[in-house]
Amino acid sequence: MQDRGAPPAKTRGAGGGSTQNSVSPPRPPGTQNIGALGVANGKTRRTGLRCPRVHLEATKSMARLRPANTLTRLDAAYIAGLIDGEGTVALTRHAKDEQRTASLSIANNDRVLLEWVRWTVGVGSISTKRPRAETHHTAYAWAVSHAQAISVLRQVVRFLRTYKKQRALIVLAVAAITPRNGRYTPDIQATRSWLEEVFLKVRP
């Protein structure tokens, strides 16, 4: 396999804070044991999360975008470390009447590192944020969205160790129920809305 010249893998702890007793949220119709997530007071337990039964052909409706490169185990683990430390896993939208879409970003002061991420993953763009004060450094952010974000998350989710793993699992569950034609049945829309509600409660 070709050596991509990856930086040495970061040493990351097992992650995860103290576990609190919590009550699983009620399940909408058409879902499996997704309530195992466990949400209470904005805290989550790192437990198993299974995708809904409805429409498990994930993100085919967004298949026009080129997927991310297939990552080596080392690259996937290293990028997961960057996401755990300096990344954001989100469901975003630009207007109230739009469905939320997956987005993934990593912020860093080292543009060379983010260029490596972009080259390794094969998708995404890098933006620059100029410092407001002389004592601040120029900041950069690599970002990817929609089906390309999903294709990255699928490869790195098993290596995530913080609350961002739960966020990534929910994003993948949302992608799994996205209809190919974009038309939601009442049950699918209810499931999606519930997943988004749970997602917004997942915090550090």
Span 143-202, pLDDT tens digits:
999 999 999 999 999 999 999 999 999 999 999 999 888 889 999 999 999 999 999 999
Q: Are 30 and 56 in contact (CB under 8 A)?
A: no
Domain range spanning residue 45?
34-201
In a domain, 1, yes or no: no
In a domain, 132, yes or no: yes
The pLDDT, as a whole number, for residue 69 is 97
Q: Are 71 and 156 in contact (CB under 8 A)?
A: yes
In a domain, 3, yes or no: no
Alpha carbon distance 168, 195 (integer Å):
12
Q: Where are the alpha helices (DSSP H) in 48-161?
A: 73-86, 111-121, 146-156
In a domain, 22, yes or no: no
- CATH number where 68 lies: 3.10.28.10
Decide the pairing of beta strands 101-108 and 87-92. antiparallel
First-to-last CA distance in the chain? 37
Q: Which amino acid is at 51?
A: C
In a domain, 16, yes or no: no
User: What backbone phi and psi angles, to 5 degrees, belong to 139?
Assistant: -110, 150
In a domain, 48, yes or no: yes
In a domain, 111, yes or no: yes
Q: Considering the chain, what is the average pLDDT of its residues?
A: 78
In a domain, 188, yes or no: yes
Domain total for the chain?
1
Alpha carbon distance 149, 58 (integer Å):
13
pLDDT in tens, 124-150: 999 999 888 777 889 999 999 999 999
59 has pLDDT over 60 = no
